[in-house]
Amino acid sequence: MRVISFLYCVQIILISERILDINASSLVVKRSPNQKPPSDVLEIAKSTTPEIIKRYGYPAETHHVTTKDGYILTVHRMKREGGQPFFLQHGLLDSSATYILMGPKIGLGYLLWDLGYDVWLGNARGNRYSKKHKSLNPKEKDFWQFSWHEIGIYDLPAMIDYILNATEYQKLFYAGHSQGTTSFFVMCSRRPEFNKKIILMQALAPVAFMTHIKTPYARIFNRFRENALRTIGEFEMLPQGKMASMCVSSENLENVMINMFFNMVGKNEKEFNRTMWPAMCYHLPAGAATNQVVHYSQLIQSGRFCEYDYGPQINEERYGTKIPPKYDLSKVTAPVALYYSENDYLTAPVDVEYLYTQLGNPVEKYFVPMPEFNHMDFVWGIHVRKLVYERFLQVMQNYTNKGSVENVTEEV
């Protein structure tokens, strides 16, 4: 109940300060109080990533990868024997499910498998699939002492090396969404030897510089950080299932949750699959360390893409400087394609365009031709194949002869 109360308070603050226009942002869910979501949607909601993949007749495997600092990660695989490996990494509070949740006509995982790729779906430390460690207990504080910096320098390298060893390939394709792009930039700037292992990196809704993000929640979080942390979790933030019951418990609360979703990622009813809302809520949030959100909030305040700020004294001890060092993006020499949109509340076009100028080898900057396209539409949007993945595959063809854009734009 603390989370519900906090969310209502946030809505009231946003409305009272005219940060949020309740009329402009409202979405009425027209259903009777006793009406239930379709049974197949509820089954998908309560299924794991491999179970969903198998439900649609695709192969699914589960692999476990141990990082150098002892975290045990789960990687899901849609095996294509002999196929070029393609690694997909999720965003903040998300999981491997994000690329397959919406089914074979939308999900990027299915599309790539159909085109002949050996698809691997990563899970960062701290989410529902990667909450194990060789010695640390996830119920204790020490387990959660990380941000997306550690995901970049430990998790991604461990998973990439595991995939290349398992497939006997020297390089792979990489695509990330949101935090999956942030951690990639960390990896290639701090561990530049991994650049040579990437054929092409495709960044969906890339997040690095955050000066101009639109979501009003960033402002509220920074103002009330102490209370927010106590509510959402001082160390672990929103584990899987924490919000699921709220999303479908009543018509009024469901409307509040959908409004909050739109105020976080950007409102786009055109691409919002209302029927799948219960499944979205069960799989997102999937858990994370609170420090991951704090680290992002620091980027918003500083205007820099830099390491975690522990305060002047600890910074001096850790970094040798009072402020955390920047990530040197010129060291990201793997080819990088950026895909961004106007209505993404979590990464602004001006920030993405600046990111493009800082990268060591940018090869594409694609602005989605739909003004309303939001942050989660890159993985869940009804017409994402036409609006994004068609260009995504065209760019890939510059780096391989595999794949085809045929049937990508099929109406769903």
**Residue 76 falls in the annotated catalytic set:** no
**Are the C-beta atoms of residues 303 and 209 closer than 8 Å to each other?**
yes
Count other Cβ atoms within 10 Å, centred on residue 20: 20
Of the residues 76, 149, 295, 375, only one is catalytic, namely 375
Residue 21 has a pLDDT of: 44
Tokens 């890159």, located at residue: 378
Residue 254 has a pLDDT of: 81
DSSP readout, 28-41?
Answer: -----TT----HHH
Residue 218 has a pLDDT of: 76
**Residue 383 falls in the annotated catalytic set:** no
Q: Quick one: tokens of 311?
A: 């305060």
Of the residues 94, 118, 155, 344, only one is catalytic, namely 344
Q: State the maximum Cα–Cα separation within the chain, in Å, rounded to a whole number.
A: 61
Residue 253 has a pLDDT of: 80
Collapse the DSSP code of 251 into the 3-class scheme (helix H, G, I; strand E, B; otherwise coil) and give the result.
Answer: helix
**Residue 69 falls in the annotated catalytic set:** no
Residue 33 has a pLDDT of: 42
**Mean pLDDT across the chain, nearest whole number?**
88
Residues 106, 110, 114, 120, CA torsion sign:
positive
Of the residues 47, 96, 130, 178, only one is catalytic, namely 178
Indicate the DSSP class of residue 17.
Answer: T
Residue 64 has a pLDDT of: 98
Count other Cβ atoms within 10 Å, centred on residue 211: 14
Residue 248 has a pLDDT of: 66
Inter-residue long-range contacts of 19-27, CB under 8 Å, 24+ positions, other chains counted? 19/216, 19/219, 20/216, 20/263, 22/259, 25/259, 25/262, 25/263, 25/267, 26/255, 26/259, 27/255, 27/258, 27/259, 27/262, 27/267, 27/269, 27/272
- Domains of the chain (ranges, CATH numbers): 2-396 (3.40.50.1820)
Residue 400 has a pLDDT of: 79
This prediction has a pTM of 0.90
Residue 410 has a pLDDT of: 44
Q: Which residues in the chain land under pLDDT 50?
A: 1-6, 12-13, 15-34, 402-412
Angle at 378 between CA 264 and CA 374, to 5 degrees: 35
Collapse the DSSP code of 63 into the 3-class scheme (helix H, G, I; strand E, B; otherwise coil) and give the result.
Answer: strand
Residue 251 has a pLDDT of: 74
Tokens 């595959």, located at residue: 393
